Amino acid sequence: MQNQQRRKQKGFTLIELMIVVAIIGVLAAIAVPQYQKYVAKSEASAALASITGHRANVETYVLTEGSFPTSAAVPVPNSPLGTISYDNATSAAGDIVFTFKASGVSPEVVSKKVSLKRTGAGAWSCASDVASDLKPKGCS
């Protein structure tokens, strides 16, 4: 009988394991939505970076030709997140628009747009219909 009392417990009890699983579940419930938000925000920033890089080509075309380009005159780059196009072209003003794909991107940015708008005077501004907490810095 004394041998049985001297035996030390090894391993975990069921209650201890259930507590650990509950803690992991609570942490996952908090972390997953924050991660999805982070991914959506980075995709919106990547879209702005894509069209900002292309802005120099458009500006050069406007300065040399005196009008906003078409996709035939200045081809738009490809992006795995969406498509880039020109819109509202009038004289030297127009928009470079990034439209997110309907699939393969975060649900928060599906079919949303990020655009750079050029005025006839040459001023550029950013606009987007992405949720306000996901917009890239400098976009309204």
Task: Give 67-115 pLDDT, tens digit per residue.
Answer: 898 888 888 888 899 999 998 888 888 999 999 998 888 889 999 999 9
Pick from 39, 34, 41, 46: nearest CA to 133: 41
Give dist(CA 97, CA 139) in Å, integer.
13
For the stretch 79-82, contacts whose Cβ atoms lie closer than 8 Å and that sit 24 or more positions apart, written own/partner, are: 79/46, 79/47, 79/50, 80/104, 81/43, 81/46, 81/47, 81/50, 81/105, 82/47
Per CATH, the homologous superfamily of domain 16-128 is Glycoprotein, Type 4 Pilin (3.30.700.10)
So what's the pLDDT on residue 133? 87
Annotated domain spans of the chain = 16-128
Question: Is the overall model pTM greater than 0.85, yes or no?
Answer: no
Which residue has better confidence, 32 or 4?
32
